Chains A and B, each alone.
Chain A
Amino acid sequence: MATSNIHKWASLPDPSPAELARAAEGDAQAFKLILERYQGMVYSVAYNVLGNHTDAEDAAQEAFLRCYRKLPQFRSEATFSTWLFRLALTASVDYKRRERRHPEPVETPEMAAEAAPQLGEGVDAATIVAALHDLPDDYRVPTVLRDVYGLPYQEIAAATGRPLGTVKVMVHRGRASLRLKLRAEGAGPEQGPAGARPRSDT
């Protein structure tokens, strides 16, 4: 695999129809190429939904097994990465609904040091990971689905089996909590001179 562990998966090229056809026929080597190419994307989705590495590995493995079983049903109307991304999301949310969480200390996932990304003004990956980790599951899962992956509220309600109104409230609270955490980290946008912006809501 590439030495740099972090890149934008959305820009990964899709496997060719011939590669997909071979994997769908049960060619293990062809499937392994797909697995190697998309492992980071699938694992990231699982990690962000589940919030720890042990569960993330289980769910990511389950997502790839589903992918292997369902490859013959893949139709090229969707891009392969979008299709697999959906499988990863549903496998992770299903896992969340089924399994008890493994408590684990916060541990920033491994990334190439030179690529440690800035995610906004003064917001780095470690800050986001810690802030998400601190959210209760009930807030984190819908907030991740909504704001990390951009799912519509309706789909989040369907995936998590919760009422639409509840899901919205959880996302709103998740955002509020993340905003306070990022601000506490000194990472918010208001890094101007002290007292430049009086606040009334703290």
Chain B
Amino acid sequence: MDCSYFRERINLYIDGEMGYLEVAELQSHLSFCPDCAAELAEVGEVRSALAAWGRLELATPPGFVERVMAAVEVEPAPGSPKPFGQAVDDTLQKLDDTLGRIPLPGGRTIPVKNVIGWGLAAAAVAIGLGRRHGRRARELTPL
């Protein structure tokens, strides 16, 4: 097998994504091919430089803390109850994430949250109508 075969596998080797037979095959090639061995070493150098870079901390721009604090101070306190509308939206979104979509005839699908949303809206309308109806009924009832 030629070098290009092994070059393609160097990344798999580095990422630990090769079986031990493949590893043995690559290692035996590396033992007599300085070019492929050099490429492996270089990719290794790149990765260790990147990892070292990732452990370093950069300076934030001047005024960063003050700007974040200004944004934080207009936030409601953490954990304070959400506005009702947002709480409903969040719950529906969660349901949607877990239940996904409902298949309709004809191969189309709709998100579960729409169905529940329509259900809630219909319930609200029904309750409203019921109340009005009850009130009117009382108004009309002769004593």
Partner pick for B43 among A43, A109, A150, A175, CB 8 A cutoff: A175
Scan B70-90; emit 1 where CB is below 8 A from any A CB, else 0. 011101011110000000000
Scan B44-87; emit 1 where CB is below 8 A from any A CB, else 0. 01111111111111111100110111011101011110000000
In the complex, A92 has a CB within 8 A of chain B: no
Which partner residue on chain B sits nearest A41 by CB separation? Answer: B57
Q: With A and B bound together, what is the CA distance between A36 and B66 in angstroms?
A: 10
User: In angstroms, how far is the closest chain B Cβ from the Cβ of A22?
Assistant: 11
Q: With A and B bound together, what is the CA distance between A201 and B43 in angstroms?
A: 14
Which partner residue on chain B sits nearest A190 by CB separation? Answer: B38
Scan A113-149; emit 1 where CB is below 8 A from any B CB, else 0. 0000101110101001000000000000001100111
Whether B46 and A6, one on each chain, are in contact in the complex, defined by CB atoms closer than 8 angstroms, is no
Which partner residue on chain B sits nearest A180 by CB separation? Answer: B42
Q: With A and B bound together, what is the CA distance between A10 and B51 in angstroms?
A: 12
User: In angstroms, how far is the closest chain B Cβ from the Cβ of A78?
Assistant: 17
Q: With A and B bound together, what is the CA distance between A179 and B47 in angstroms?
A: 9
- Number of B residues whose C-beta is below 8 Å from A? 41
The A interface is mostly helix, strand or loop, or mixed, namely helix
Whether A60 and B60, one on each chain, are in contact in the complex, defined by CB atoms closer than 8 angstroms, is yes
How many A-B residue pairs have C-beta atoms within 8 angstroms? Tell me: 169
Residues of A within 8 A of B61 (CB): 53, 57
Residues of B within 8 A of A149 (CB): 54
In the complex, B3 has a CB within 8 A of chain A: yes
- Number of A residues whose C-beta is below 8 Å from B? 67
Most buried by A among B49, B55, B64: B49
Most buried by A among B54, B64, B75: B54
Which partner residue on chain B sits nearest A23 by CB separation? Answer: B78
User: In angstroms, how far is the closest chain A Cβ from the Cβ of B74?
Assistant: 10
Residues of A within 8 A of B53 (CB): 48, 119, 125, 128, 148
Scan A36-72; emit 1 where CB is below 8 A from any B CB, else 0. 1001110110011000010001001100110011111
Residues of B within 8 A of A201 (CB): 3, 7, 35, 39
Q: Residues of A with Cβ closer than 8 Å to B?
A: 5-10, 23-26, 28, 31-32, 35-36, 39-41, 43-44, 47-48, 53, 57, 60-61, 64-65, 68-72, 109-111, 117, 119-121, 123, 125, 128, 143-144, 147-150, 153, 168, 171-172, 175-176, 178-179, 182-183, 188-190, 197-201
Q: Residues of B with Cβ closer than 8 Å to A?
A: 3, 7, 11, 15, 34-35, 38-39, 41-43, 45-61, 64-65, 67-69, 71-73, 75, 77-80
Q: List 26 A-B contacts (CB under 8 A).
A: A9-B55, A10-B55, A24-B78, A25-B78, A25-B79, A26-B78, A26-B80, A43-B60, A44-B54, A61-B67, A61-B68, A64-B71, A68-B78, A72-B78, A109-B59, A110-B58, A111-B58, A120-B52, A128-B49, A147-B50, A168-B11, A171-B11, A179-B43, A182-B45, A182-B46, A201-B3
12 additional contacts (CB under 8 A) given A24-B78, A40-B57: A7-B56, A28-B69, A35-B68, A39-B68, A44-B57, A48-B53, A120-B48, A123-B45, A123-B49, A125-B56, A147-B46, A190-B38
